A and B are shown apart, each in its own frame.
Chain A
Amino acid sequence: MGSHGVHHARAVASAGLETSLRTFRELLRRLWGTFRRNPTDRDLEEELEFHLDLVREAGQHQGGTPEEARRAARLHAGGVAQAMEALRDQRGLPRLDDLSRDVRYAIRTLRRSPSFTITVVLTLALGIGANTAMFSAIDAILLRPLPFPDGDRLMRLRQIQERTAETYIAPVRLEDWQRLNVAFDAITGYFMEDVSETSGELPQSVRRAFVGPRFLEVWRIRPAVGRGFTDAEHTTGGPAAVLISDRYWRVRFGADPNVLGRLIRIGTASFPVIGVMPASFLFPDRDVDLWFPSAVDNTFAQSRQATWYAGIGRLKRGVTLPQARANMEAVQARLAEQYPETDAKLRVDLTPLKETTVAGIRRSLWLLFGGVSLLLLITCTNVAGLLLTRTAHRHQEISVRIALGGSPLAIAGQMFVEVLVLSVVGASMGLLFAAWATAALRAAAAGLPRIDEVTIDGRILLYTLVSAVLVALFCGTLPALRSGRADVTAALSDGKRTQVSARTSLQWLLVGAQVALSVMLLAGAGLLLRSFQQLSRVDAGFSVNRMLSFRISGNFGETANYDRLIARIDGTIDALQALPGVDAVATAGFLPGLPVQFESAFALVEATSETEQRMVAESRPVSPEYFDTMQIPLKQGTPCRRQPRGAAEVMVNSSFVTRYLAARSSPTGLHLISGNTNPRPSVITGVVGDAREAGLDRQPVPTVYSCMSAPNPTPYFLLRTHGEPQALAQTVRLKIKEREPLRSVYDVAPLEQRIDGAFAQNRLRTVLLVAFALAALSLACVGVYGTLSHVVSLRRREVGLRLALGAARSGVVRHFLLQAVRVVGVACLAGLALSFAFARLLAGMLYGVSAADPFVLVTIVAIVMAVATLASLVPASRAAFVEPMQVLREG
């Protein structure tokens, strides 16, 4: 039995495989059969006829009465139709057949009413396309991991001092972290500076990044051409090397295939190109074109107080973020024990790199996505209304079909297929629109993080497809249900007469929903718009117009001789001051008006209270000419002066005095110590007025201005000009070239433009939301127009009767107008209620405007009512042109 059993089992297994193959073959044949009717109906009928003939002949031969023969033949003949049906079912795949038949019928029907079809398709294209475009932005920026292998393991390491102040990391500490931790595959750091590349005809400004060892290891990116850095290149005096970006390779070297070994010149040194990075590598900054290996063994890199690096690391597989955080805490605690003076007050912060990259725009993006989804909802509601109207007009056709035996379910199903066809076509057009929209977004919002990664790809296509199906479900259910329930007798008994009772309450409900949602969108957009307007009216506290800002290239090496650096900068300021058209010149470490915060803790040397020992304020390095240039008024004391690196003078602003030094009679003459950089006390020489240097949308903060003209080799230069700031740019360049031919002037822009640029995200958000809101309003008005037209046409006979009985035309028009206005009015109230409910979503994005600002809301309601009334006027007045005699004659 054993071997027989095995044999049997094997036979059964292979039989199972055979059966599957047979079934698969059958499936293929039947699939083919749905598209090509093979064998044809004629062949099948011929075969059956042949069979019938033989049955008849057999019947005749058997004898039996002609009656019996004829009855038998008849019975068999009846079988032909049924046999054909069974054969057709076997030939194709019945479900698929039904679907394809429905689709073909739907296409035919839609072709017969082109204006309806085009309207619906365009509307759906707009709604689905906008939604898809927004989703592709959200997907690329927020949902997908960074475009590196295992991108979600990349972490940003920050060194936090005194609880809040982030400082750059000393190279030795970074190496300690790398050595002592167990959570990371590799940790590295980088810093960036803008320098002059002088191997070409003119000095070119270029941004370079100095990167620590293991840089490419952290990213797990290999250069597209060439190689990464060796350890030898990360040492002082080691071989020179530079990696260039793909863009730099194309622009500067014309995509030369033999670029390896060609030289880059920075200052007096030359560096051979050892590799080209891939085009997609845009870190640490999308403007970085050169990467240099940073030498960690030189003398000034050994200080634990050096502030060089921004830190990044790659987590080991399997290590979670809390584990890594705990590990780094332990590591830093060890270092604190070992080096108490420098490391005790530091702690390490770990944040996923993607988080730090996109956190700023997350809320804006989701807000916009919410807006565009509302728009889609309004679009669907609009289309549902259109479909309902159309179904009402087709009720005769449907009644006839039901009377002839069609099943209501089949008819409803077929209506649904019509909607599905519309939806799929609309979605395809929407995809085209979305492709265009994402390209436009990439161009218009070039500053947004990760914007270059936004594309239309497989995931987005899937999303579009699913949207199309959901839209079809939403729009099509109501009309499909309605169509199945047509009143047969009423329709068939009287061809011409239309329904007297206009069952349009559902359509009015849909219109009301559209208006309510539009009001909601409009309220949001209106609030953002007004907030933006308020922002533009803010008094900055410093001069914004007629200010030109720029930088002059320098390099980190200049910090070796600070006196020479200060002399250079001061000399440049003087030279520029002498130019015609220039009113004043100054330098600053940070640009005013842009949100860059650098907080420090200060202590008063003459402190008598707790607060005076720990005063947290913004620390801004500026040259003494700053306050005059920026026209920030001097409130007390005297302005600080130019000085050698020895004595240090500072100015404080009014907020600082109000917050910390209110008890003192006069703050001038007091001494401050800052924990961070300068251990020597600085003397306060005077108090200046408040300026919103941290951003126009923020309250002025206590600020300490350190008077130094050269906080780093490349400070921002600020020029107050007599005329147009941009006009002076060329003059400035020429002057600098005259003084220092090896340095380039870059990052030139009027200050106004920069501050505007800081609000680019804000502006984009507002503009887009306003666009969505206006689109929504248009759709809602079209909905009002359409529904009222429909109502008027339904009630023509009634209107004719009324007019014949003596009603005034104006009264009729007013009646219809009021009907529409009533619905819109109620919908506005509902929309307002919704706005209140969702007002929280806008918190933090509004400036100078509360979420329930009455001015904005009243304006919105007024606009909506006005536009809706206008939209209702046309169909309502059409009612006035009904000829009572003609209507009555139509009977």
Chain B
Amino acid sequence: MDRRVQHRPSLASFLIFDIQIETQYSIGMPNKGPAKADVLQGTLDLMVLQTLATLGPLHGYAIAARLEHVSTGAIQLNMGTLYPALMRLEQRGLLRGEWRVTDNNRRARFYHITAVGRRQLVTEKAEWDRMVSIMHALLRAQG
């Protein structure tokens, strides 16, 4: 599992202590076949928000499981990737987490999407669509 970390200029970098914002997560698939999929941080946010918007409150494992399921195994999030991302989204106010008891009577932290998160989801989806169509047009043009 490896992780490439880069600085991305942001509002925070104007402050004295710049925040290391991880912009690239490599989602490694140990002992599984070909290329590790490098996914931009923004798309991870999008995936998490969409999952929660669709399925309602979930805990971290469930989110990872769902994404693995939907992508038929291509995306396997490790803990070191998923949970910092969830914390970050919570710090930004897009999610809120709370401790609950599962059906098996165990304590777990459940995350649900906030109103702000929903708005952000809409924006991000639109942006994603726009990006896809631009890339599509570009790649087709060269072809």
Q: Does A199 contact B (CB under 8 A)?
A: no
Q: Which of A703-758 contact B (CB under 8 A)?
A: none
**Which stretch (B50-58, B101-109, B134-142) binds chain A?**
B101-109
Interface assignment of A838: CB less than 8 Å from any CB of chain B: no
**Chain B residues with CB below 8 A from A86, complex form:** 80-81, 83-84
A residues in contact with B106, CB < 8 Å: 50
Residues of B near A75 (CB, < 8 A) are: 30
In the complex, are the beta carbons of B61 and A55 less than 8 A apart? Answer: yes
In whole angstroms, how far apart are the Cα atoms of A23 and B17 in the complex?
14
Any B CB within 8 A of the CB of A26: yes
Partner of B80, one of A24, A83, A93, A99: A83
A26-B88 in contact given A18-B120, A94-B20 (Cβ < 8 Å): yes
Residues B49-93 near A (CB distance < 8 A): 59-61, 64-65, 78-81, 83-84, 87-88, 91-93
| Alpha-carbon distance A47/B78, docked complex (angstroms) | 14
Most A Cβ at <10 Å: residue of B1, B83, B107:
B83
Least CB distance from A804 to B in Å reads 58
One of A29, A76, A83, A99 near B83 (C-beta < 8 A): A83
A93, B17: Cβ atoms closer than 8 Å: yes
Chain B 110-125, CB-CB to A under 8 Å as 1, else 0, gives: 0000001001100100
Q: Decide if B35 is an interface residue (CB 8 Å cutoff).
A: no
B81 contacts across to A, CB distance below 8 A: 86
Contact at B91–A25, with CB atoms within 8 Å?
yes
The answer to whether B94 has its CB under 8 Å from any CB of chain A is yes
Chain B residues lying within 8 Å of A43, measured Cβ to Cβ, are 109
Q: How far is the CB of A819 from chain B (nearest CB, A)?
A: 46
Q: Taking the complex as formed, is A48 at the interface, i.e. its CB lies under 8 A from any CB of chain B? A: yes
Tell me if A108 counts as interface (CB < 8 A to partner B).
no
A76 to chain B: which residues have CB within 8 Å?
A: 78-79
Pairwise interchain contact B84-A90, C-beta atoms closer than 8 A? yes
- A55 CA / B126 CA spacing, docked (Å): 34
Q: Could you tell me if B12 and A96 are in contact, using CB atoms closer than 8 angstroms? A: no
Docked-complex contact A20 and B11, CB < 8 angstroms: yes
Assess the A51–B79 pair: CB atoms within 8 A: yes
B107 touches A87 (CB 8 A): no
Contact partners of B78 in chain A: CB under 8 A? 76, 79, 83
Q: Tell yes or no: A822 within 8 A of B by CB.
A: no
Q: Which residues 308-355 of A have a CB within 8 angstroms of B?
A: none
Q: How far apart are B81's CB and chain A's nearest CB, in angstroms?
A: 8
Evaluate contact between A25 and B92: CB separation under 8 angstroms.
Answer: yes
Provide the residues of chain B in CB contact with A208, threshold 8 Å.
none
Summarize B's interface: helix, strand, loop or mixed.
helix
Contact yes or no, A87 B87, CB < 8 A: yes
Q: Which residues of B contact A29 (CB under 8 A)?
A: 91
Interchain CA distance A18-B10 in the complex, whole Å: 14
Q: Which of A26, A80, A93 lies in contact with B79, CB distance below 8 A?
A: A80
How close is A102's CB to chain B, nearest CB, in angstroms?
Answer: 13
**Interface size class, chain A:** 35 or more
Q: At the interface, yes or no: A30 with Cβ under 8 Å from chain B? A: yes
A86 to B88, CA, bound (A): 11
Is A250 in contact with chain B by the CB < 8 A criterion?
A: no
Contact with B along A51-93 (1 / 0, CB 8 A): 1101100100000000000000001100110110111011101
Q: Does B19 lie at the interface of the complex (its beta carbon under 8 Å from any beta carbon of A)? A: yes
B6-20 vs A, CB cutoff 8 Å, 1 = contact: the mask equals 000011100101111
Measured as residues with beta carbon below 8 angstroms from the partner, the interface class of chain B is 35 or more
CA distance A52 to B61 in the complex (A): 9
The answer, yes or no, to whether A46 is at the interface (CB within 8 Å) is yes
Q: Are B80 and A79 in contact (CB under 8 A)?
A: yes
A335 to B119, CA, bound (A): 80
Nearest Cβ on chain A to B110's Cβ, whole angstroms: 11
Q: Note all chain B residues with C-beta closer than 8 A to A15.
A: 123, 127
The answer on a CB contact under 8 Å between B84 and A79 is no
Q: Are A47 and B108 neighbours in the complex by a CB distance under 8 Å?
A: yes
Chain A residue contacts of B20, Cβ below 8 A: 89, 94
Chain A positions within 8 Å of B84 at CB level: 83, 86-87, 89-90
CB-based contact B61/A22 at 8 Å? no
Q: Provided the pairs A27-B12, A75-B30 are in contact, do residues A50 and B108 lie with their beta carbons within 8 angstroms? A: yes
Q: Flag whether A840 is at the interface (Cβ < 8 A).
A: no
Check if A23 sits within 8 Å of B80, measured CB to CB: no
Q: In the complex, which of the residues B83, B91, B107, B108 contacts A30, with contact meaning CB atoms closer than 8 Å?
A: B91
Give the contacting residue for A26; candidates B15, B65, B92; CB below 8 A. Answer: B92
User: Chain B contacts of A96 at CB under 8 A?
Assistant: 17
- When the two chains form their complex, are residues A47 and B12 in contact, meaning their CB atoms are under 8 A apart? no
Interface string of A131-146 (1 = CB under 8 A from B): 0000000000000000
CA distance A76 to B92 in the complex (A): 28
Contact of A95 with B by CB under 8 A:
yes
CA distance A20 to B120 in the complex (A): 12
B83 near A48 (CB under 8 angstroms)?
A: yes
A83 cross-chain contacts in B, Cβ below 8 A: 78-80, 83-84
Q: Which residues of chain B are near A18, meaning CB under 8 Å?
A: 119-120, 123
Min CB distance A195 to B, Å, is: 62
**Roughly how many angstroms separate A24 CA and B92 CA in the complex, as a whole number?**
8
Query: B120 contacts which chain A residues (CB < 8 A)?
Result: 18, 22
Output the nearest chain A residue to B88 by Cβ-Cβ distance.
A90
Tell me, rounded to whole Å, the shortest Cβ–Cβ distance linking A62 to chain B: 12
Residue of B nearest to A22 (CB): B92
Please measure, in the bound complex, the distance between the C-alpha atom of A55 and the C-alpha atom of B82, giving whole angstroms. 14
Query: Quick check: A50 and B19 within 8 Å, CB to CB?
Result: no
A91-B106 Cα distance, complex, nearest whole Å: 25
Bound form: Cα–Cα A228–B140 in Å: 84
Query: Are A51 and B19 CB-contacts (below 8 A) given A26-B91, A89-B84, A90-B88?
Result: no
Contacts of A89 in B (CB 8 A): 20, 84
A842 to B64, CA, bound (A): 79
Which residue of B65, B80, B107 is within 8 Å of A82 (Cβ)? B80
Contact across chains for A95 and B91 when beta carbons are under 8 A apart: no
Chain A residues with Cβ under 8 A from B12's Cβ? 23, 27
> In the complex, A52 Cα to B127 Cα: how many Å?
35
Residues in B neighbouring A54, C-beta threshold 8 A: 61
Establish whether residues A22 and B79, one from each chain, have CB atoms under 8 Å apart when the complex forms: no
* Contacting pair A11 B80 (CB below 8 A): no
A20 partner residues in chain B, CB cutoff 8 A: 11
Closest CB-CB distance, B63 to chain A, in whole Å?
Answer: 10
Mask of A31-48 contacts with B, CB within 8 angstroms, 1/0: 000000000000110111
Highest count of chain B CB atoms <10 Å: which of A51, A87, A99: A51
Please, how many angstroms separate the alpha-carbon atoms of A25 and B12 in the complex?
11
CB distance from A743 to the nearest CB of B (A): 69
With A11-B123, A29-B91, A86-B83 as contacts: A50 and B17 at CB distance below 8 Å? no
Give the docked Cα–Cα distance between A96 and B19 (Å): 10
What is the CB-to-nearest-CB distance from A116 to chain B, in angstroms, rounded to a whole number?
30
Give the residues in chain B near A30, CB-CB below 8 Å.
Answer: 19, 91
8 Å CB contact of A46 from B61, B94, B107? B107
Q: How far is the CB of A38 from chain B (nearest CB, A)?
A: 11
Nearest CB in chain A: distance from B21 CB, A = 9
List CB contacts (< 8 Å) of A367-391 with chain B.
none
Provide the bound-state CA to CA distance between A29 and B92, in Å.
8
B23 → chain A, closest Cβ, in Å? 14
Given A27-B11, A27-B12, A95-B17; 18 other pairs, CB 8 A cutoff:
A15-B127, A18-B123, A22-B93, A23-B10, A26-B92, A29-B91, A30-B91, A47-B60, A50-B106, A51-B64, A52-B79, A54-B61, A55-B61, A75-B30, A76-B79, A83-B84, A86-B81, A87-B87
Q: Measuring CB to CB, which residues of chain A are less than 8 angstroms from any residue of chain B?
A: 11, 15, 18, 20, 22-27, 29-30, 43-44, 46-48, 50-52, 54-55, 58, 75-76, 79-80, 82-83, 85-87, 89-91, 93-96, 99
13 CB < 8 A contacts A-B: A18-B119, A18-B123, A25-B93, A26-B91, A27-B11, A43-B109, A47-B108, A48-B83, A52-B79, A76-B79, A82-B80, A87-B84, A95-B17
Give me the 4 closest cross-chain CB pairs, A-B, nearest first.
A83-B79, A29-B91, A95-B17, A83-B80
